[in-house]
């Protein structure tokens, strides 16, 4: 089986590998999977600020990698898009911004979304990102005093003291999105 991912980011590739390894423990058909990762161009914002933008970005990544492979006469069985960003909600008059992620998978016939867990973002970080139109990666690098945090533990790792990392959030979303593919009798 070949799975195409619409990103070349290390954390996203790690998430796909981990999700496939977990699925393979219950379905041997998933034990021999080749991952094809490609950088794709999408129109979604670099820093999604709503669940709608996150879901749209994930879908756009999966469809973009499918188109890219078709242009190169390459085939895959499943196309994956992973997108992380913010979702802000108001509860009892208070605004809360969460870091969350979405996965979208399709084989061209069947499609599905899956959501990652969410972690509340400190107001000071959320405001800097939203008000200054910055990417979270830039702000987290500055706050953490490190470079390219997103390629390692991500904001997830910084916010959770490395108890939960960026790749793990995407892994969870992808396992959820792939459920109709590995658990077809329920879907």
Query: So what's the pLDDT on residue 105?
Result: 98
Q: Under 8 Å CB-to-CB from 106, ≥6 apart: which residues?
A: 62, 63, 66, 78, 79, 112
Residue 112: its H or E element: strand 111-115
Query: So what's the pLDDT on residue 96?
Result: 96
All domains of the chain, ordered by start, with CATH?
2-88+100-118+162-182 (3.90.950.10)
CA dihedral 164, 139, 177, 80 (to 10 degrees): -120
pTM of the model: 0.93
Q: What are the tens digits of pLDDT across the range 121-166?
A: 999 999 999 999 998 999 999 998 989 888 788 899 999 999 999 9
Residue 130: Cβ-neighbour burial (10 angstroms; 0-12, 13-18, 19+): middle
Q: What are the tens digits of pLDDT across the range 106-133?
A: 999 999 999 999 999 999 999 999 999 9
| Tokens (6 digits) for 77 | 């069985």
* Pairing, β 119-120 against β 94-106: antiparallel
Q: What are the tens digits of pLDDT across the range 22-47?
A: 999 999 999 999 999 999 999 989 89
Task: Identify the three-state secondary structure at position 46.
Answer: coil
């Amino acid at each position: 089986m070949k799975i195409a991912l619409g990103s070349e980011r290390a954390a996203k590739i790690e998430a796909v590998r981990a999700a496939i390894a977990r699925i393979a423990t219950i379905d041997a058909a998933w034990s021999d999977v080749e991952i094809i990762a490609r950088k794709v161009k999408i129109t979604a914002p670099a820093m999604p600020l709503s669940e709608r933008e996150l879901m749209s970005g994930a879908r756009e990544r999966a469809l973009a990698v499918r188109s890219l492979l078709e242009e190169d006469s390459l085939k895959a069985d499943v196309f994956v898009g992973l997108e992380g960003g913010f979702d802000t909600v108001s509860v009892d008059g208070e605004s809360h911004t969460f870091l969350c992620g979405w996965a979208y998978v399709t084989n061209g016939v069947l499609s599905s979304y899956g959501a990652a867990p969410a972690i509340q973002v400190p107001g000071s970080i959320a405001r800097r990102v939203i008000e200054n139109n910055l990417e979270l990666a830039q702000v987290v690098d500055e706050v953490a005093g490190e470079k390219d945090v997103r390629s390692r533990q991500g904001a997830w790792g910084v916010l959770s003291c490395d108890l939960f990392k960026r790749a793990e959030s995407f892994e969870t979303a992808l396992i959820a999105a792939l459920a109709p593919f590995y658990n077809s009798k329920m879907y």
